[in-house]
Structure formats: C-alpha cells, structure tokens
Amino acid sequence: MNYLLDANTFVEAKNRYYNMTVCPAYWSWILQQRASETVASIAMVGEELKKGDDELARWAKDHPELFLDVHDQATQECFAVVAEYVVSHAVRMKTGAAEDFLSGADPWLIAKAMTTGCTVVTHERHHAEVVKKFLIPNVCDVFGVSWMNTFDLLYKLEARFVLPAQL
C-alpha cells in the first residue's frame, strides 16, 4: 500500500468535483487502485462514511475491502505514540481539541501510515500556528509521515478519466 485516504477525500469528491453520478470513473479508479494495492483507507474512515444516509455510505458499505484494519500490534503502538504527542501538546490548543482529534479516525490514519510507510491523502492543509484543532498534516510532519491532497495523488498516479471515443 502506498496511499491512505482520509474521510474528507471521499466526502469532498462526492459533494463537489467527482460526484458519484457525474463522474463514476473516479470511484471505479479508487477501487482499481485498491485492487492493485496502491490505495486504501482504514476501517474507522469506513465507519465514518457508513454513518451517512447517501450514495457514499452505500458505496462504502459495498466495498469493505477498501478499509484496512487497525487492530494490529504495530498500529496500536503507533497510535499510542500519536496520542501521547497530542495530549502533551493539548495545552496550547483550544479546549477539547485533543479529545476531538483522538476520538476520530485521524490519529489511526496517521498510525497506520507510520506502520506501513504510506502517504496520507487529505484535504487538510498544514498550518503551524493553528490552535483550534489538531490537523493531520501538522501531526504527520511531527512523525515524518508524508501527506498530500487528492489532486496531487491523481497527478502522481497519472489518473485519467476520459470519455470513450464517439462513433
């Protein structure tokens, strides 16, 4: 596996530029990349997506193979390291920021990336001075985990969504 997708990459795509009805090729591409073991996400992201009552929730339920388990020992140990860092830096953040971060999929995504050497794909941006919440890119940087956005991923993997030739 090379890339792990954050929940916001799915949600933004569905809601904006790769709507599931308008651009089904994008969603097929994700599954093809998973089949070739290039792209995946984690089970907790899958659970977040499945909570919805829309086509993305149904799609996530139909493709459990996309979401990797995080119960392995190495990921658990890395999660503990990420959690320790977040808790130790909570004092400079808005009240509740550590709890919010640790209660979601984000620290698990980073932990899984730490154990697999994957790049995290997210639409969050690095912002060193942010105090409202812990951001995936900021925490990734602390642990030497690479990150990028969906568009960088598409360019890197040379994705092409083209219409068939007209007869």
Instruction: Decide if 62 contacts 126 (C-beta within 8 A).
Output: no
For residue 126, being part of any structural domain is answered with yes
- The CATH number for 106's domain is 3.40.50.1010
For residue 164, being part of any structural domain is answered with no
> What is the three-class DSSP state of 124?
coil
For residue 117, being part of any structural domain is answered with yes
Number of domains in the chain: 1
For residue 98, being part of any structural domain is answered with yes
For residue 165, being part of any structural domain is answered with no
What is the pTM assigned to this prediction?
Answer: 0.93
Determine the straight-line distance between the first and last CA of the chain, rounded to whole angstroms.
Answer: 38
For residue 167, being part of any structural domain is answered with no
Per the structure, the complete domain to which residue 32 belongs is given by 3-156
| pLDDT at residue 92 in the model | 85
Q: What is the pLDDT along the chain (167 residues), one digit of tens a residue?
A: 799 999 999 999 999 999 999 999 999 999 999 999 999 999 999 999 999 899 999 999 999 999 999 999 999 999 999 999 999 988 888 888 889 999 999 999 999 999 999 999 999 998 877 768 899 999 999 999 999 999 999 999 999 998 877 65
In our burial notation (b when 16+ CB lie closer than 10 A, e otherwise), range 25-49 reads ebbebbeebbeeeebbbbbbbbebb
For residue 162, being part of any structural domain is answered with no
Q: What phi and psi, each to the nearest 5 degrees, are found at residue 120?
A: -85, 135
| pLDDT at residue 166 in the model | 66
Instruction: Decide if 6 contacts 120 (C-beta within 8 A).
Output: yes
How many residues does the structure list for the chain?
Answer: 167
For residue 28, being part of any structural domain is answered with yes
